[in-house]
A and B are shown apart, each in its own frame.
Chain A
């Protein structure tokens, strides 16, 4: 028997996620990569619920629940305490997209600029799911949410948080997707090897909020990557590397699987396709450019 990801399970049974939750899978993989000697700092998000109500927790590592905007600053504090105690424990800040792109951005920017020794993972389900599918700055253009109802769909593009983190010149930034757990785990292990702030953003689809059949979580996640909408890449000390080069699906194929895009018409979809192609091209150019400056 050959398993492609570590066998040890640090996420116990009985969690409170919805059926087919991408965020739940993301945590399962992250803990496989990080191991037992880890403390998780979790701000308000679905994961504050999924973990279980006090005094229960489904995770077999210590969890520090904290206020919505404070994932990075609380993790900085825990990391400083570990340093004083002379411990090598990994400090994981685990936040949703709302807690990262929106309300937690200043705390994260502060930690990154100071170079606090934490691994920050944002599980990106592209809206405020825990409170009932409100739009966040991670919600993509064209999506329905309860605050961007049908014809008034979101008209602003998704904020490029990854590039904001790259601009902080932190040692390691990466994107990942739950359909590629081997890649996600490899990136987390790599992040662990760096001193300073590391940022990983993992796409974690939400069947409840995106309006699709829970059985399709992995199929849809794969489609997000294969269409180039959610490219997998890493930036290690300024050097870009695309993890998966092939781009062989269209935006249309991806969005037609989801109820949150069901109101979109041909022209809007064409426009979205053009933007994805442009962003993809830009990413390839970045890889080439920074690759040349390597030596």
Chain B
């Protein structure tokens, strides 16, 4: 990235994101979505503090690489179609 001294920034700067940090390993309970009962309100997506619920083919999709298992999605789901299952 930096070939000479002149390419270096004048201050400390971040070189990469945090995606190497797979926080999914912190989880003890895992949210499991019942797609048949889902009404696609995306409230689970909206309230995920890890931004680890994606929207794929008009359906919420939980990203287990990063989901820490807080259970907010399950608690807020108006149809109660996200179950917390012990890992």
Which residues of A pack against B, CB within 8 Å? 1, 3-5, 7, 9, 11-17, 19-22, 24-25, 28, 51-52, 54-58, 60, 63, 181, 207, 213-219
Q: A13 is contacted by which of B42, B55, B66 (Cβ under 8 Å)?
A: B66
How near does chain A come to B21, taking the closest CB pair, in angstroms?
4
How near does chain B come to A38, taking the closest CB pair, in angstroms?
15
Q: A218 is contacted by which of B16, B22, B45, B47 (Cβ under 8 Å)?
A: B47
With a cutoff of 8 Å between Cβ atoms, the chain B residues found around residue A16 in the complex are 18, 21, 23
User: Do the beta carbons of A55 and B13 come within 8 Å of each other?
Assistant: yes
With a cutoff of 8 Å between Cβ atoms, the chain A residues found around residue B22 in the complex are 14
User: Do the beta carbons of B46 and A57 come within 8 Å of each other?
Assistant: no
Determine the distance from Cα of A214 to Cα of B71 in the docked complex, in whole angstroms: 7
30 contacts between A and B (CB under 8 A): A1-B42, A3-B42, A7-B55, A13-B18, A13-B19, A13-B21, A13-B50, A13-B51, A13-B63, A13-B66, A14-B17, A14-B21, A14-B22, A16-B21, A17-B50, A19-B69, A20-B71, A25-B47, A28-B49, A52-B18, A55-B16, A57-B14, A58-B17, A181-B47, A213-B71, A214-B70, A214-B71, A214-B72, A215-B72, A217-B49
User: Do the beta carbons of A24 and B49 come within 8 Å of each other?
Assistant: yes
With a cutoff of 8 Å between Cβ atoms, the chain B residues found around residue A17 in the complex are 49-50
Give chain B's interface residue range (CB within 8 Å of chain A): 35 or more
Determine the distance from Cα of A117 to Cα of B75 in the docked complex, in whole angstroms: 39
User: Do the beta carbons of A1 and B40 come within 8 Å of each other?
Assistant: yes
Once A14-B18, A19-B70 are accepted as A-B contacts, the answer to whether A1 and B49 lie under 8 Å apart by CB is no
